[in-house]
Structure 1
Amino acid sequence: MSTRHGTDADPAELAGVLAAWMPHQRWFAAKGDGAPVVPRPVGRAVLGPGMTVELVEVASADGTTTLYQVPLSLRAVEDPALAAALVGRVGSDGPDGRWVYDGLRDPALVRAWLRLLADGGTATGADGTVVHGVRQPGGAPLDPDAPAKVLAGEQSNTSVVVDAGGPAPAIVKLFRVLAPGENPDVVVQSALAVAGCERVPRPVGRLEGTWWATDGGAPVHGHLAFASEFLAGSEDAWRVACRAVDAGAGFEAQARALGGGTAEVHTTLAEVLPTRPATPELLAGLADGLRARVDWAVAQAPELAPHADAARAAVDGVRQARAGLVLQQVHGDYHLGQVLHSPARGWVLLDFEGEPLRPLAERLAPDLALRDVAGMLRSFDYAARHATVGLPPDDPRVAAATAWAEGCRTAFLEGYGAVTGHDPREDAALLLALELDKALYEVVYETRNRPGWVAVPMHAVNRLLPLHLG
């Protein structure tokens, strides 16, 4: 085991440059909420001279706070090779000043960071912050000196692909938003892998951390990063599906296989992680929560107002769900972008973290497996309609998209039911309520971010509510 220490940057100065830099990062959660960004240093672990893992807390306009993990590299001399990763400068303009860079873009810091994982090493800070590597028993080796590259396009986290062309490529995900406790991405994927499920990448290891609670309490513990096998040559299901749509090709066989793979994962999770009966009291609480989300969506998107009463009645159908339903661990944020197609393994599910800004306790709590099913059905609809945005309703391509999505829907549900022995369509009212909940959220999201896309989820709202009334 190794221990590294020593740095000379003032946390308050680093917080100052982070205040200008963080709002422009894809993983920053409080973009545009109107609150000034004032990072508060919470902890620091030192990977080596001029290489730190900073933990900083930022308050949102509503008073809630978010804890971020930000690796930083500090250089006495400006490094042109890292120009695109520049965070800012701290200290004087003389020799005591430091150039600050996004640490995961600095090969030296990445090597030190990966070595913690490879060796089971420990990095500490003067404030008591600790970062510790834990190897997965039986996991593939990780070479910290192998070529490493940051994966582009991620929203909530930052991942580094290691030795992509080597014999044991890995991908290491750094969790940007932290909370005390176990991250479901680590817990769920590891549990599936240990159970022998081939529908998830095999874990390699993880980084765990200890830091002082932000409320001034005792030290807390949580997951900082998670490493698993990198499936070279794979492609995410969203791209595969959209390519089929653009080519006018069917996707039913792939959707049926994905339904079966999803059911395999759900079945295994119900065997290896806690479950609980869906009592009438729990179903009533779920219905109340769905009604509250209807009210929230209507307040955020006025075009939903004419549908408010019908939507409330539809989600109330949850109260009459059949006896015998079980709550279990689920994916929690399931869509085509969370699935890879591997030439060797078929469909492989990723990113069991759930929605990163929800409390960990909620993300690890047992839920309805149908919530994942509903999420994937909505994703098929989005894939079908990605090329029809802006087209008039009577355009033949709109009808073709509807038929494509319906074919995928039917095939996915058939594939799922073939594995579980229970067709999700037999729980029609519950499935409709969960799909509607997802579609209402999508209307709000598109209204705020992509107004031209609002027609996609609104089409779903208009389709689902007549089904309820019928």
Structure 2
Amino acid sequence: MTGPVSTDRASDEALAELLMRWVPQQRWFAHKSSSAHLQRLERTPLDEGGVAQLVALTVRTGLGDEATSTVYAVPLTVRHAPDEALAGALVGHLPDVDGAEAWVYDGPHDPTFTRALLSLVAAEEGAGSPAFGVHGTSADGGLPVPAGASTKVLGGEQSNTSIVVSAPQGSAEAPLIAKVFRVLSAGDNPDVVVQTALAAAGCERVPRPAGWVDGTWTDPSGATAHGHVAHLTEFLAGSQDAWRVATAAVAAGRPFSEEAGELGAATAEVHAVLARALPTEPATPERLAALADGLRARVAWACTAVPQLHEVAEAATARVDAVRHVTGAPDLQRVHGDYHLGQVLRSAERGWVLLDFEGEPLRPLAERSVPDLALRDVAGMLRSFDYAASSGAASSGAGGEGAGAWAAACCEAFLAAYAAGTGVDPREPGSAAAALLAALELDKALYEVVYEVRNRPDWAHIPLGAVRRLTSPPG
């Protein structure tokens, strides 16, 4: 347990004012279009000197019935002299924090913070108090945490912050990646639970675990909450992002069917292990009816958000409502939940390796942790092939017809290999799997239309084309 650091209300208020100017500008802040108001700040040191600190910042956004409160994890380092090496990570300067002038830095960019976090995991120790604190746990049989590690923050993430941890030169210890969950939610994070279960079952399709940090904080209602704060896993150095591999293939006019088939087999393997390692539930008529209700609501939401979709509303509603009448549906199980090419790495030694089992970050954690249809992951990957084809073709100036054929070949190869690995073939006309996949793929495409219209209008034609295809009569 780290030693206490004197804190006072004035220091917390000064930090809160500084963070409320800085946090809404960060990529991981979830409600950028809304006004943000501080609801609560809690903080605790993670090391003996109090340089590394963790803040739980509860922020209220929106107005009236639309208002929502979110608890963010904000790692900081608080130094009493400026550090030029951290100039790019400076959050701000304050005249008095805990009795001294302070320069406040974004913690993940400061090796001192990451080493403090790693020390908690390696020693399985805690920091803070029962009301607000954290505790590290090493994964049984997992990878060791390197001492004296160097660190580097990965760019490009939207909802979390990942830090590559490299062992000192000459060390035999494997590099790790430490993911800090920026939104704190009560309960076990699926990224920790699912990857740990897969690794414990001997599945090589996920990074090996090293450990995790769980914490206790105050939720927006004032009650005590407990959940995961960070996750440490193997870092696959030299691997390639599947999205980049696929889009490069399109741009170069190369097929991707063989790789897509291998990815289908890897996906089937992961789904099969999850069905054995974690609880499943039958797809009862009641569960399917609830799913159909949710899918109908998504159609209505999308058509309201994008009036252009009204022309397919009737066909879309009929397609998703077919789920209500499915018989013989596969059991519900734990799944990836946000599956696309960007969530997969190509390793020279291990082949396809799946990452980031958190599920859709904007969905409540409780929803992301319940068993679901494995075909939801299949639908996500089919949509990703469509996006990769269009993106790669656009970058090379290739025509849309060739991109469509490329995507269709990838989907066919993926589905064939997935069917061979699971015995569930969504290509079989009239089958339960075919009806479920059609509805789930349409649901994903409708979500994409709304997202693209709001954020990237030039991309909206990709999911719009998919919606028209998926609502057209068979053949």
- Output aligned runs, 1:75-86, within 5 Å: 75-86=79-90
**Are the structure 2 counterparts of residues 389 and 451 from structure 1 closer, same or farther at C-alpha, using a change threshold of 3 Å?**
farther
Render the CA deviation track for 1:109-134: whole Å, top value 9, x for unaligned: 22212211121121115x83111110
Where does residue 141 of structure 2 map in the other structure?
A: 138
Render the CA deviation track for 1:68-98: whole Å, top value 9, x for unaligned: 00011112222222111111222359x8331
**Are the structure 2 counterparts of residues 92 and 267 from structure 1 closer, same or farther at C-alpha, using a change threshold of 3 Å?**
closer
In the alignment, is the contact (CA less than 8 A) between 2:251 and 2:393 conserved in 1? no
- Pairwise CA distance, 1:363: 0.5
| C-alpha separation in 1, matches of 2:348 and 2:4 | 44
| C-alpha separation in 2, matches of 1:149 and 1:121 | 24
| C-alpha separation in 2, matches of 1:192 and 1:467 | 40
Query: Which range moves more in the overlay, 338-347 or 6-15?
Result: 6-15
Where does residue 211 of structure 1 map in the other structure?
A: 217
Letter in structure 2 aligned against 1:402:
G
- Pairwise CA distance, 1:42: 4.1
Residue 458 (1) aligns with residue 452 (2): no
Question: SS of 1:54's equivalent?
Answer: strand
Query: Which range moves more in the overlay, 350-359 or 240-249?
Result: 350-359
Residue 376 (1) aligns with residue 381 (2): yes
| C-alpha separation in 2, matches of 1:388 and 1:246 | 6
| C-alpha separation in 2, matches of 1:12 and 1:40 | 12
In the alignment, is the contact (CA less than 8 A) between 1:15 and 1:38 conserved in 2? no
In the alignment, is the contact (CA less than 8 A) between 1:380 and 1:405 conserved in 2? yes
| C-alpha separation in 1, matches of 2:285 and 2:381 | 26
Name stretches of at least 5 consecutive residues in structure 2 with no aligned partner. Answer: none
| C-alpha separation in 2, matches of 1:83 and 1:90 | 15
Where does residue 367 of structure 1 map in the other structure?
A: 372
Letter in structure 2 aligned against 1:265:
V
| C-alpha separation in 2, matches of 1:284 and 1:396 | 43
In the alignment, is the contact (CA less than 8 A) between 1:18 and 1:39 conserved in 2? no
What TM-score do you get using the length of structure 2 for normalisation? 0.93
In the alignment, is the contact (CA less than 8 A) between 1:73 and 1:101 conserved in 2? yes
- Output aligned runs, 1:331-370, within 5 Å: 331-370=336-375
Question: SS of 1:177's equivalent?
Answer: coil
Q: Which one of the candidate residues 199, 206, 220 is aligned to 2:205?
A: 199
**Are the structure 2 counterparts of residues 12 and 396 from structure 1 closer, same or farther at C-alpha, using a change threshold of 3 Å?**
closer
| C-alpha separation in 2, matches of 1:413 and 1:134 | 38
Name stretches of at least 5 consecutive residues in structure 1 with no aligned partner. Answer: none
- Pairwise CA distance, 1:171: 0.7
Where does residue 147 of structure 1 map in the other structure?
A: 150
Query: Where does structure 1 differ by over 6 angstroms across 4 or more consecutive aligned residues?
Result: none
| C-alpha separation in 2, matches of 1:25 and 1:212 | 22
In the alignment, is the contact (CA less than 8 A) between 1:51 and 1:103 conserved in 2? yes
Where does residue 15 of structure 1 map in the other structure?
A: 16
- Pairwise CA distance, 1:201: 0.7
Where does residue 407 of structure 1 map in the other structure?
A: 409
- Pairwise CA distance, 1:150: 0.9
- Output aligned runs, 1:386-401, within 5 Å: 386-389=391-394, 397-401=399-403
Residue 420 (1) aligns with residue 422 (2): yes
Query: Which range moves more in the overlay, 158-167 or 283-292?
Result: 158-167
What TM-score do you get using the length of structure 1 for normalisation? 0.94
Identity of aligned pairs, percent?
55
Question: SS of 2:221's equivalent?
Answer: coil
| C-alpha separation in 1, matches of 2:328 and 2:271 | 19
In the alignment, is the contact (CA less than 8 A) between 2:70 and 2:220 conserved in 1? no
Question: SS of 2:81's equivalent?
Answer: coil
| C-alpha separation in 2, matches of 1:92 and 1:112 | 23
Residue 287 (1) aligns with residue 292 (2): yes
Render the CA deviation track for 1:392-442: whole Å, top value 9, x for unaligned: xxx961100000000000000001011112212232222111111000100
In the alignment, is the contact (CA less than 8 A) between 2:12 and 2:41 conserved in 1? no
In the alignment, is the contact (CA less than 8 A) between 2:263 and 2:414 conserved in 1? yes
Residue 440 (1) aligns with residue 443 (2): no
- Pairwise CA distance, 1:8: 4.2
| C-alpha separation in 1, matches of 2:288 and 2:406 | 33
Q: Which one of the candidate residues 117, 120, 125 is aligned to 2:124?
A: 120
In the alignment, is the contact (CA less than 8 A) between 2:79 and 2:102 conserved in 1? yes
| C-alpha separation in 2, matches of 1:285 and 1:3 | 48
CA RMSD of aligned residues (A): 2.0
- Pairwise CA distance, 1:390: 10
- Pairwise CA distance, 1:20: 1.1
| C-alpha separation in 2, matches of 1:338 and 1:288 | 29
| C-alpha separation in 2, matches of 1:145 and 1:121 | 18
- Pairwise CA distance, 1:138: 1.2
Where does residue 187 of structure 2 map in the other structure?
A: 181
| C-alpha separation in 2, matches of 1:351 and 1:71 | 21
Question: SS of 1:466's equivalent?
Answer: coil
Where does residue 44 of structure 2 map in the other structure?
A: 45
Letter in structure 1 aligned against 2:79:
R
In the alignment, is the contact (CA less than 8 A) between 1:103 and 1:109 conserved in 2? yes
- Pairwise CA distance, 1:39: 2.9
Residue 245 (1) aligns with residue 245 (2): no
Question: SS of 2:28's equivalent?
Answer: coil
| C-alpha separation in 2, matches of 1:357 and 1:387 | 28
Render the CA deviation track for 1:30-72: whole Å, top value 9, x for unaligned: 111x32x223334222113232100011112121111100011
Query: Which range moves more in the overlay, 39-48 or 312-321?
Result: 39-48
Where does residue 320 of structure 1 map in the other structure?
A: 325
In the alignment, is the contact (CA less than 8 A) between 1:131 and 1:210 conserved in 2? yes
In the alignment, is the contact (CA less than 8 A) between 1:389 and 1:455 conserved in 2? no
Where does residue 315 of structure 2 map in the other structure?
A: 310
In the alignment, is the contact (CA less than 8 A) between 1:4 and 1:122 conserved in 2? no
Render the CA deviation track for 1:223-250: whole Å, top value 9, x for unaligned: 1111111111111110110111111000
Where does residue 5 of structure 1 map in the other structure?
A: 4
Where does residue 265 of structure 1 map in the other structure?
A: 270
Q: Report how many residues are paired.
A: 461
Residue 129 (1) aligns with residue 135 (2): no
